[in-house]
Amino acid sequence: MEPSIQEEKKKRSPLSLWMIRLLQGILIGGGAILPGVSGGVLCVTFGLYRPMMALLSHPERNFLRYYKMFIPVVIGWGIGFLSFAQIIAVVFRASSLLAVCLFIGLIAGTFPQLYRDSNRQGRSTTSWIGFAVGFLFMFGSLFISGITFRADLQPNVWWFLFCGILWGLSLVVPGMTSSSTLISLGLYQPLAEGIASLDLHVLIPMGIGIVGVIALTAKLINHLFETRYSVSYHTIMGIVLASTLYIVPLEYGSFGEFLLAVLCFGIGAAASLLTDKYFGANGTE
């Protein structure tokens, strides 16, 4: 990946390259908050994942080498993150049920890409064990949490910190999307509304969670993907599938509402599949 970055620098002026990185950051920031889109996958798509992980894993060695590259990316990430939060807040206020169905479609549309990427280094029995463990762990965790405190869950500083931790993981783990988990816990809508209104009670703990989890896990995640790629990716696939199935609505006000829900699901799935077809990483880094 390093040579291609150098060639890109030679072909483009510093200003045009800066603007391209800014746009990429906006898309990654939007992907971080938009259900069904993994910020990590977009980093792979734009050729930023390897430099990002090198910088996060060994900042003392790579800061001077990469920091200029990521200045516009970070600025763009903030713009995209805040902008998409406002859009999502409006969608949820219009109809939370249809919004969830739309987002389930967006997530479901990423499964073909997840399945292809998980096979990049082959599959084994251990890979499928990882998938089963990830699925059972996530579904069981959501089920228990739903019984234990879903009805009494009140969004607060600690829950927004938890949201930041999940979003941080979705940035450094390609293919992982945290939005379905947050939807299942009833945290996604208040989080999006808090971000859209620039509520510091939401932004500060969320930001601490994102930065903290990246700083603490970057080396470990980088190591796991380098040494246990197939098992790691299949485990993520199981987690994403379980968290998505858990939020599928089972009650509808009318048959017409059910048809609208199916339509929203189809629109979301089609949007993800088209995005993958025309802008996806296609399994390359």
Q: 69 is written with which tokens?
A: 């590259």
| Tens digit of each residue's pLDDT (9 = 90 or more) over 223-272 | 887 788 888 888 878 877 887 787 788 888 889 889 999 998 998 888 87
Place of tokens 């896990």: 217
Q: Is the pTM of this model over 0.95?
A: no
Q: Return the sign of the alpha-carbon dihedral for residues 130, 284, 23, 266.
A: negative
CB 4 within 8 A of CB 47: yes
- pLDDT attached to residue 65: 83
DSSP for 82-138, please give it. Answer: HHHHHHHHHHHHH-HHHHHHHHHHHHHTTHHHHHHHHTTT---HHHHHHHHHHHHHH
Report which residue type is found at 162: F
Mention every residue, 6+ apart, whose C-beta is less than 8 A from residue 78: 25, 29
- Per the CB < 8 A criterion, the answer to whether 257 and 94 are in contact is no
pLDDT at 39 (0 to 100): 67
- Do 115 and 237 form a contact (C-beta atoms < 8 A)? yes
Q: Quick: pLDDT tens for 199-224.
A: 999 999 999 998 898 888 888 877 88
